[in-house]
């Protein structure tokens, strides 16, 4: 039983690490703020959920599990709220979402 829980939580932690790394790479590679929010979103939802799920399996039935669950619940409320606030602030500052046409234009200007 113990071994099974260990293996299961190892799988969850590995999957969480994968999604967190994917989110971080997205944060670096994607073209503008609005696109990068997708990368941050992957980290905040799937990455954090799998990670904390893995930790919860390790801690068993105790107060620690409840606290980890609280962190998870808080993430699920806070992450969309702060993403919305960020997108709203960026839009009201006049930032235009990235599009393919602008990219082509930028490359032409960069070449000349």
Name the burial class of residue 31, with classes exposed (0-12), middle (13-18) and buried (19+) by CB atoms within 10 angstroms of its CB: middle
Q: Quote the CA–CA distance of 11 and 4 in Å, as a whole number.
A: 11
Q: 92, 100, 110, 112: which one contacts other proteins (CB under 8 A)?
A: 92
CA distances from 68 to 17, 71, 108 (A): 17, 5, 50
- One character per residue 61-90, x = contact with other proteins (rule: CB under 8 A): ---x--xx-xx--xx--xx-xx--xx--xx
30 to 59, contacts with other proteins by CB under 8 A?
A: 33, 36-37, 39-40, 43-44, 47-48, 51-52, 54-55, 58-59
Residues that bind other proteins (CB under 8 A): 9-10, 13-14, 16-18, 20-21, 23-25, 27-28, 33, 36-37, 39-40, 43-44, 47-48, 51-52, 54-55, 58-59, 64, 67-68, 70-71, 74-75, 78-79, 81-82, 85-86, 89-90, 92-93, 95
């Amino acid at each position: 039983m113990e071994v099974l829980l260990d293996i299961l939580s190892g799988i969850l932690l590995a999957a969480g690490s994968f999604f967190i790394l994917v989110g971080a790479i997205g944060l670096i590679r994607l073209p503008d703020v609005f696109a990068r929010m997708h990368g941050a979103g992957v980290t905040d939802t799937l990455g954090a959920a799998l990670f904390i799920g893995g930790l919860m399996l390790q801690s068993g039935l105790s107060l620690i599990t409840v606290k980890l669950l609280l962190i998870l619940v808080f993430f699920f409320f806070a992450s969309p709220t702060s993403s919305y606030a960020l997108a709203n602030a960026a839009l009201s500052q006049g930032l235009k979402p990235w599009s393919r046409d602008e990219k082509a234009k930028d490359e032409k200007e960069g070449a000349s």
